[in-house]
Amino acid sequence: MRADAQRNRDRIVEVARDVFREQGYDASLDEVAKRAGVGAGTLYRHFPQRENLLDAIMQSWVDRVNDAADKAVTREGTPREQLLAWFETYVGLISVHKGGPAKITSAMGHEESPIRTKCQTLAAANDRVLDHLREAGALRPDVDSVQMCRLVGGVATVADQGELDAAVVRPLLEVVADGVLAP
């Protein structure tokens, strides 16, 4: 890629991150192009679909997901406390941008999604946490990682769309945790 094309691409990603944070993932791509100082054609050459732009924005997010999973498996406390802490972290990770929980949760498990690599990263991090709890005998044997991502993602979507605070979200996560922990 030519240096000027790379600069344009980088600028589009930087501006899109700000626009999506302000207005949500469904913000106008024309607004992104305008603020980035490029034409719509330039934006679409780099990012043919909105999801391609979302994927580029989410790259730094991957590192945060992996770090969060590392912390979750070394966290002190009961299995329930560990699982709830992971769920709260998970909700935070997918709720960085308005509309993010719905986009990520609906793409979870879909191989043809342009953000599938990010979903796979999130599912793999979730797997690490669940495997840690399985080894301790703390989870029901039928708990599936992608289903778990969808359940917690559903709670995050409701919280995002309803602008619910953490005090309202925690009891919802407790219900999910209590449903998957071994008796």
Number of Cβ atoms within 10 Å of the Cβ of 48? 11
pLDDT surpasses 90 at 100: no
Q: Are 177 and 87 in contact (CB under 8 A)?
A: yes
Residue 16 tokens read as 């899109």
- Name the one residue in this structure whose structure tokens are 């934006």: 43
- Name the one residue in this structure whose structure tokens are 């991090």: 125
On the CB side of 84, CA atoms within 13 Å amount to 16
pLDDT surpasses 80 at 1: no
* Single pTM value for the model: 0.73
- 133-161 confidence digits (pLDDT tens): 999 999 999 999 999 999 999 999 999 99
Beta-strand runs (E) in the chain: none
